[in-house]
Structure formats: C-alpha cells, structure tokens
Amino acid sequence: MMEQLESKRLIFVTGKGGVGKSTVTAAIASALARRGKRVLAVETDTYSALADLLDVKLLEGAPAMVERGLWATNVRAEDALVHTIRQFVPSDRVSRAVIHNRVARVFFKAAPSVNEFSILNKVMALRDEGDSPSTRWDHIVVDLPASGHAVTFLGVPRTLNGMMRVGGFAKMAGKIASEIEDPSKVAVVAAALPEEMPVKETIELGQQLEETVRRGLTMVLLNMMHEAPFAPEREALFDRVRAGAASASTPGIEVERVMEGSALAWEWYERDLKYAKVLKDAVDCPVLELPMFYEADGASVVDRVSAYLNGERDPGGELAS
C-alpha cells in the first residue's frame, strides 16, 4: 500500500485528536526514507510531537537530519507569512516590517486563514526547492491539525482564490488549490482508531473533503488494531475450556486470570473488526490496519510502524505485513 504514497511528493496526514496522527506522520516519513527517498517531515507551527517521535531537536530556519534520507522541520506561521509577503515585496526586512506593523497585524488577525494559507504556501515552496536530486525532496509529509480543522486548512487556498478573483495573490491561491485538489499529485491520509467516534469522524472527514476541497482521502491508516489471542476457528474450543475452568471447584487463580484476559482480548479483537468493517464500507479509499505495538517510547513505536508499512521483518523475526 506504500506504493500509493510513493507516487505522491506531498502527503498530508490528519485525524481526530488522540488517534496517533503524529505517530503515523513520522512512520510514513521514516518508511519512505527507508525506501531510499529523500524525505522531509513537517509539523505546522504548533507542537505536534514529531521531535519526540523522531528523537530529534528541531532547528529554527533549517531542517534537522533524523537519519539517512529523513529530515524534520517546523514551519512556523510567522516565518511562513514573511515568505509569502516576500513574494510581493523586495526583501525579508520589508516583509517583517509589514507583519510587525500594528495596523497590518490587526488586518492579518482579522483576515480569514492567513496563517494557514502562508503555511501551505511555504510547504509548496519547500517541495519545489532544490535544483538536483541531491537537494530536492522526494516527499514532504505534513502533520496537519486534527481533522476538524484540517478540512478548513486545506480549503483555504480555494476560498481565498474565490474572494480575490484577480491579481498575483489570487493566482498564487488558485495554483495551490489546484495542487491540493489533484489526487495524482497530493495525498491526504487519515489516521483513525477502531472505535465509534474516530471512525465516525473519519467518515465525515472524507465527505467534507469531497464537498469543500473537491477531493477525497487517499487512504486511512487504522491504528492500534488488537490481534486475536487465539486463532478465530478455535473460539468454540476456547469457550468450552473457559466454561470448564469456571465450573472447576479449584481452577486456580492463574488459570482464571489467563481465561479472563483472553476473553477480554477477544472482545477487543471483535470490537476492532466491527469498526474496521464500518469504516471500510463507508470510505472510498484503501484502509490499512496497523497492529498494536507495545513499546516503551514513541520513537520505538514509529520504528515498528515504519517497518510494518514497508513489510519488513520485525525484531521478533516475523514478517511485519
């Protein structure tokens, strides 16, 4: 399934808060880098945990190298706004003077989605920079805000283009909007959990993208799927063993705990299957299930998910996919 993302130079990742959106962003970026690509992972202005997940200190004004083929950066709204204004005025000094002007600051604060547009414009510039394969990004993976804000974020260029109609700014907004709306060039990935609210919000996200951004989701990564504690065809056998242990006069606390723990794990497994089916039936894109990984820190989880996405063998020797 990574092949679908490998053909896109710009990948946006979103999802309901708390579903592992930043982990998925970091893992996709790492997986692509392991495929020999030159990849930049981007967080957008606010803290998104990418620094901790990739175990790197983000630098101001320059991407920080994480590992071979992978860098990370934070695109700050103010710097992005300076970059955008710089395309219409003669220097960075003038650009910063404009945004620090008291009247201008009031305007920028009141104007609709100036920060979001500037960040998108900066991301597009990062994608287009570099004059050779050694300096050009093969992929930029962007950790967007949570899904409730992401649709508005991605729809800003088209909104501004419709408001401005003519002029250099309108032309810039229209170009960015056309790029985002083209599923052959730009991927929009949703992270979700196999639970009622995240699944419902992911389905709504796909619908809102179609209505507002004129495109759908590229794929959904269904995070933290529980695996079956035993082979599904042995469910009836497990029920008989469990019933027998419960009816025994002295089953033993260890046996009882194993039985109850396995029963609970089976309930989680069935619940996850139920919501995975609801999601797959409702969205018009592939859904990739990511298993639950029990690791001590975020960076280790990213490493496991990255390996899983690439079908690599995990540390236990089993094929990740």
The pLDDT assigned to 321 comes to 39
Answer whether residue 277 is part of any domain. Answer: no
Q: Which residue has the tokens 């996919």?
A: 321
The mean pLDDT value for 286-304 works out to 93
**pLDDT at residue 303 above 90?**
yes
Q: Could you tell me the pLDDT band of residue 269, with boundaries at 50, 70 and 90?
A: very high
The pLDDT assigned to 246 comes to 62
* CB-based burial, 138-153: b 16+ in 10 Å, e otherwise: bbbbbbbbebeebbbb
Retrieve residue 118's tokens: 């500037």
Residue type, 68: R
Percent of all residues in the chain with a pLDDT value above 90, rounded to a whole number:
56
Name the residue with higher pLDDT: 114 or 190: 190
Length of the chain: 321
The mean pLDDT value for 232-255 works out to 69
In the chain, the N- to C-terminal Cα span, in Å, equals 11
**pLDDT at residue 316 above 50?**
no
Answer whether residue 255 is part of any domain. Answer: no
Answer whether residue 254 is part of any domain. Answer: no
Answer whether residue 299 is part of any domain. Answer: yes
**pLDDT at residue 251 above 60?**
no
User: Cα–Cα distance between 234 and 78 in angstroms, integer?
Assistant: 59
Q: Could you tell me the pLDDT band of residue 132, with boundaries at 50, 70 and 90?
A: confident
The mean pLDDT value for 175-203 works out to 96
The 10s digit of each residue's pLDDT in 7-33 is 999 999 999 989 999 999 999 999 999
> What rounded mean pLDDT belongs to the chain?
86
Percent of all residues in the chain with a pLDDT value above 70, rounded to a whole number:
84
3-state SS, residue 310: coil
Q: Give the angle 155-159-164 at the CA atoms, nearest 5°.
A: 150
Determine if residue 142 is left, alpha or beta; phi over 0 gives left, psi from -120 to 50 gives alpha, anything else beta: beta
Answer whether residue 318 is part of any domain. Answer: no
The 10s digit of each residue's pLDDT in 71-112 is 999 998 888 888 888 877 766 666 667 666 665 555 556 565
| pTM assigned to the model | 0.86
Answer whether residue 272 is part of any domain. Answer: no
CA 171 to chain centre: 28
The mean pLDDT value for 102-127 works out to 77
The pLDDT assigned to 263 comes to 83
189 touches 218 (CB < 8 A): yes
User: Cα–Cα distance between 261 and 267 in angstroms, integer?
Assistant: 10
The mean pLDDT value for 285-299 works out to 92
23 touches 305 (CB < 8 A): yes
User: Cα–Cα distance between 317 and 60 in angstroms, integer?
Assistant: 40
Q: In which domain, by residue range, is 150 found?
A: 2-226+287-309
User: Cα–Cα distance between 68 and 48 in angstroms, integer?
Assistant: 22
Answer whether residue 279 is part of any domain. Answer: no
Residue 289 bridge partners (DSSP): 222
User: Cα–Cα distance between 142 and 132 in angstroms, integer?
Assistant: 22
The mean pLDDT value for 196-219 works out to 96
**pLDDT at residue 61 above 80?**
no
CATH of the domain at 11: 3.40.50.300
The mean pLDDT value for 188-192 works out to 98
Pairing relation of β-strands 64-67 and 70-75?
antiparallel
- Read off the DSSP letter of residue 231: -
The pLDDT assigned to 252 comes to 61
Q: Could you tell me the pLDDT band of residue 318, with boundaries at 50, 70 and 90?
A: very low
Q: 13: how many CB neighbours lie within 10 A of its CB?
A: 27
Name the residue with higher pLDDT: 141 or 3: 141
The 10s digit of each residue's pLDDT in 133-186 is 888 999 999 999 898 899 999 999 998 888 877 788 889 999 999 999 999 999
The pLDDT assigned to 250 comes to 57
What's the structural domain count of the chain? 1
Q: Give the angle 298-4-270 at the CA atoms, nearest 5°.
A: 60
Answer whether residue 275 is part of any domain. Answer: no
Name residues whose C-beta falls within 8 Å of residue 126's C-beta, 6 or more positions apart in sequence: 40, 42, 75, 137, 140
- When mean pLDDT is compared across 8-22, 251-265, 302-316, the lowest value belongs to 251-265
The pLDDT assigned to 240 comes to 75
3-state SS, residue 15: strand
Q: 90: how many CB neighbours lie within 10 A of its CB?
A: 8
